[in-house]
Structure 1
Amino acid sequence: MSTQDFRIDTLGIAGSGAMGRGIAQIAALAGLTVYLFDTNPKALAAARAYLSETFDKLIAKGKLKQADAHAALARVRDAQFANELSDCDAVIEAIVEDLDIKRELFRELEAVVDARCILASNTSSLSITAIAAGCEKPERVAGFHFFNPVPLMRVVEVIDGLRGDPRSGDALMELARRMGHTPVRAKDMPGFIVNHAGRGMNTEGLRVASEGIASFADIDRIMREQAGFRLGPFELLDLTALDVSHPVMESIYHQFYEELRFKPSPITGARLASGLIGRKAGEGFYRYVDGKAQVPPEAPAPTQLPARIWISRTSPPRREQVLKLIAKSDAACHIDTGHTPAPDSLIIVTPLGLDATTIAINEHLDAKRVVAVDTLFALDTVARRTIMTTPATTPAMRDAAHALFAADGVPVTVIRDSTGFVAQRVVATIVNIGCDIAQQGIASPEDIDLAVMLGLGYPHGPLALGDTLGASTILAILRNIHGVLGDPRYRPSPWLARRAQLGLSLTHLEELR
């Protein structure tokens, strides 16, 4: 790029599918001249019809003036041949996710566009550096990754390839702002920011399910109503559809050379092969009727409260949470204050990152009476609570604990024994992967949190979430899971470990010379 202040006013878009027409919509409304390129004239006609219908709907809702809609549509021009893009300041590729096909297109574009024209790829999973390697001028190539639906998902990742000119990315950052989107900057690494960070929810949710700890519906309920996410992992997978999400999971796993944090699950492979891909197929992890998920109902909570309760003293703050809840719910239970539990007491433990069995063994407790409760999210504020049993816990003790924690009307999910319950291990994995993205310098802490909140709809970015719950708490969960299971996927990121031990925010950037 020869000029320092480069403004993109004429934009080419290669591909007129959902992503291409979405980008064309926001670009035309922002005042840019748009050349929508597709060798299939029927696809171009369909895209133009879609844009016209979309603008009409916005007019009917009072969100767009008719004159502005007509002007925007007039700025979109059809192009069936690559040489019609010769006057473009930038061309965004939004075609099939195939490296060879993208490289071929970029070589074709290089032959017709101006020397300073930026070539951008909307790829979600392929390396920008690898795409640029097929070009004579790799410095002009950058990633410009939008999310579907483009007009509603107002975040875009700008990715610098290894040989990319930062000014190309700078120009795309400014273009994104002009089109009403929030740009975030990332280095060229598998999954960039959003798809990389999204591995935590999906892969760990699948791991929990594969261990038989809880059903798909129960895992979703826990992540929504206890952890506060808008969607659980299986609702999210049904929304994105496995024909899209499973290949991305495999791609990121292999591009990171089989990093265990990103290991896909055979659950999704089998369901993809059987056509159970999600909402758009009418059946995925849930069956859909008229677009609505058919969720299995929960059984009513037991009502028989325990006569006597003994609460572990291992963590006084977590013990206090349980005592406070019991007092608030007016449950008529006797609190066993003995140093060891009486023979008939229900034994309540509050582990972080450990399973109920390990706690029972470490504290020399009767496993038949042990029930664990998750206190990561305050028991008196959550919309759902989770308890888990050891393999030896009797049904009577399980039901008594269920009745106790549901006494104030808050639903309770009972799961099988798990290192870190469900919410603890999924949330800790989300935070840990976010920390590793920061450790690798893929993006700034601010952009990591911003991209995840806007791109995935999480209530907090991973680093802010870790700070909210306590970095030392997240570190303890991961270290305990790793210590019990020995699975490297739970090893803490150095970014997390160092900041937790020093009492620093996970968004803290160290000063470098």
Structure 2
Amino acid sequence: MTANANVRPGSDGLSADGSGPSGPGIGPGSTVAVVGTGTMGQGIAQVALVAGHPVRLYDSAPGRAAEAVAAVAGRLDRLVEKGRLGKEDRDAALARLHAADELTGLADAALVVEAIVERLDVKQGLFAELEGIVAEDAVLATNTSSLSVTAIAGGLRLPGRFVGMHFFNPAPLLPLVEVVSGFATDPAAATRAYETAKRWGKTPVRCTDTPGFIVNRVARPFYAEALRVFEEGAADPATIDAALRESGGFRMGPFELTDLIGQDVNEAVTRSVWEAFYQDPKFTPSLAQRRLVESGRLGRKSGHGWFPYADGAERPEPHTAAPEEAPARITVRGDLGPAQPLAGLFERAGVEVRRKKGDGFVDLPSGVRLALVDGETSFEYHQEQIVYFDLAHDYEKAERIVLSAREGISPQGLAEAVGLFQAAGKKVSVIGDVPGMIVARTVAMLADLAADAVERGVATAEDVDTAMRLGVNYPAGPLEWAARVGHRPTVSLLRALHERYPTGRYAPGLGLVRRAYAEEAEEAG
């Protein structure tokens, strides 16, 4: 192979077949170019700049790159004011930051990161032009969150050097970077992008080019199941949000989060992933959210979404049960599984707890049975009365417990259940008799999509869990959570949901089923 005139002296060179760059991450002395100077572009530029790189900013709109340089300088000034960056380091960084009036001003870049409009044709045109400007050992990267990395690189002469580097907003603060390999991406190029992100103080994860990558693919049930519970009339948005925050341990509820993101943005991502998976029922969008978007209630930016945001507007409060008296004694029959810590909580609250053999439930003095959600409904039990309680991430720390019971349940039994959890220091919400309740069905579906992503080679289990913890602040990775709950109970809950909603949405995937069988074999052996 003849030497390529566009390879810089002293560079890391090309891969063996000449299709892309090889070697470790891009060193701090090498130039990083950022195309697109919006919020994400400025954030990525700041990250590269603080890591020691000369940075070139380019925007197709005249004057925007110079404005972005000034904006990044302002960002660095604020870091100095907060004591997070020294003045000398700021001055050195600003000396390395320059605006480029033309794309040709990016010719010396070792890495180009694109953060422009989410349109395939525009991105393809940009990279086709860049390919003739930068050296052949330069890495070309897109920050797309919704488009195919493979499709963007499809027309390139050297698609092997093209990779996705999906940062999360705000890029300087959030640690996760999804490093996405397209169909033609050279492994060496992905490795260079991965190692570069590590050098920048980020936590990169590797994944293949799939709709939504890791986070936007696996996260869909967090929104979808909440919307489904709302559409069935089982609970209102404020109560669903409170359940997922105060029992599930999530940082924000899905209704307040989509109001923050923008209902139009969130619905568009959901629809994009659904269509990319050929309308797989597991990703079906919500009609309720579509109607909200059509009404113009887009969330905080429009002043109203699921909740009102005008000055003086009162936010709806979650349903919280009135105080009830706790029963003096209860009987815990068998192992309560992930809810086993409740027995100790009840004892510390002064309730006498008797323990007997059984299938994992609590007998209340009224004769009502209290059981951990299993995907069935209270109305299906004709000979006995059951009150279900929802899954919690940590029953010791949970601030709220959600109960579900059919109409006609013994008022005394329901009052005993409410009082029991209140005595343990929990707020209690009572919702409609919906299978899977709120937290349990959400976690089960998250685990199912996470296991499916691993099964299909999208990413490793460790990277999936890391992405979900760092990218969207989940209290635990879905696979870690499913392992703690138990893969068999998780599969059982999904099968119960599938029986009641036979659309395919809840049918557990092979990845999760394999884990359930492995768990059973390990326990037996």
Local SS of the residue matching 1:490: coil
Question: Which runs of 5 or more residues in structure 2 are unaligned?
Answer: 1-13
What are the Cα deviations for residues 54-73 of structure 1, in whole angstroms up to 9, with x where unaligned?
A: 11111111111111112212
C-alpha change, 1:284 and 1:502, in structure 2 (3 Å) is: same
Q: Is the 8 A contact 1:27 1:179 kept in 2?
A: yes
1:394-473 alignment, distance < 5 Å: 397-473=413-489
CA distance in 2, matches of 1:392, 1:231: 33
Partner of 1:153: 174
The answer to whether residue 522 in structure 2 is matched with residue 502 in structure 1 is: no
Counterpart code for 1:459: P
Note if 1:90 corresponds to 2:86: no
Give the Cα–Cα distance (whole angstroms) in 1 for the partners of residues 151 and 371 of structure 2. 49
SS in 1 for 2:178: strand
**TM-score with structure 2 length normalisation?**
0.86
Look up the match of 1:317. 336
CA shift at 1:34, angstroms?
A: 1.2
Equivalent residue for 1:5, pick from 23, 26, 37? 23
Spell out structure 1 runs of 4+ moving beyond 6 A: 290-293, 306-309, 318-323, 332-337
- In the other structure, the counterpart of 1:511 is none
User: Structure 1's 176 and 377: CA in aligned 2 closer, same or farther, altered over 3 A?
Assistant: closer
Q: Distance in 2 between matches of 1:292 and 1:57?
A: 32
**AA at the equivalent of 1:410:** K
What percent identity do the matched residue pairs reach? Answer: 38
Check if 1:224 corresponds to 2:245.
Answer: yes
Shift of 1:235: 2.3
C-alpha separation in 2, matches of 1:100 and 1:288: 37
| Cα deviation, residue 12, structure 1 | 1.4
Moved more, 346-355 or 416-425: 346-355
2:492 is the counterpart of 1:476: yes
Is 1:490 paired with 2:506?
A: yes
- Taking the TM superposition and a 5 Å limit, the aligned residue runs for 1:74-473 are 74-288=95-309, 294-296=315-317, 298-299=319-320, 301-303=322-324, 317=336, 326-330=346-350, 345-357=366-378, 359-361=380-382, 364-365=383-384, 370-374=386-390, 381-393=397-409, 397-473=413-489
- Out of 62, 73, 77, the position equivalent to 1:41 is 62
Q: Decide whether aligned partners of structure 1 residues 102 and 491 sit closer, same or farther in structure 2, where only a CA change above 3 A counts.
A: same
Shift of 1:116: 2.0
Structure-2 change in CA distance of 1:5 and 1:354 (3 Å): closer
Query: Does structure 2 retain, via aligned residues, the 8 Å contact 1:208–1:214?
Result: yes
Is 1:351–1:359's contact at 8 Å kept on the other side of the alignment?
A: no
| Structure 1 stretch displaced more, 409-418 or 33-42 | 33-42
Q: Superposition pairs for residues 45-60 of structure 1, below 5 Å?
A: 45-60=66-81
Residues 263/465 of structure 1: CA separation in 2 closer, same or farther (3 Å cut) = same
Q: Give the conservation status (yes or no) of the 8 Å contact 2:465–2:478.
A: yes
Q: Which segment drifts farther, 233-242 or 10-19?
A: 233-242
- 8 Å CA contact 1:372–1:387 kept in 2: the answer is yes
Q: CA deviation at 1:320?
A: 7.4
Question: Residues of 2 paired with 1:171 and 1:477: CA distance?
Answer: 42
Cα distance in structure 1, aligned partners of 2:456 and 2:314? 39
Does the 8 A contact of 2:347 with 2:353 survive in 1? no
How far the C-alpha of 1:324 sits from its partner, in A, is 5.6
Separation in structure 2 between the aligned mates of residue 94 and residue 272 of structure 1, nearest angstrom: 26
- Structure 1 residue 401, shift from structure 2 partner: 3.3
Report the AA paired with residue 185 of structure 1.
Answer: R
C-alpha displacement at 1:407, in angstroms?
Answer: 3.1
1:240-299 deviation digits (Å, cap 9, x = unpaired)? 222322111110110011111111111222222223222333322222367998242645
2: CA distance, partners of 1:390 / 1:292? 34
Query: Partners of 1:323 and 1:179 in 2: how far apart?
Result: 47
User: Are 1:471 and 1:496, in contact at CA under 8 Å, matched by a contact in 2?
Assistant: yes
Q: CA deviation at 1:334?
A: 12
Q: Which residue identity does 1:479 align to in structure 2?
A: R
Closer, same or farther: CA 88–216 of 1 in aligned 2, 3 Å: same
The secondary structure found in structure 1 opposite 2:464 is helix
How far apart, CA to CA, are the structure 2 residues paired with 1:33 and 1:378? 46
Instruction: Return 5+ residue gaps in structure 1 as ranges.
Output: 507-513
Question: How far apart are 1:120 and its partner, in Å?
Answer: 0.9
Matches of 1:104 and 1:291 in 2, distance apart?
Answer: 47
Question: For the residues of structure 1 that align with 2:310 and 2:367, how far apart are their CA atoms?
Answer: 43
Of 485-494 and 431-440, deviating more is: 485-494
Report how far residue 382 of structure 1 moved.
2.7
User: What is the identity, as a one-letter code, of the residue corresponding to 2:463?
Assistant: D
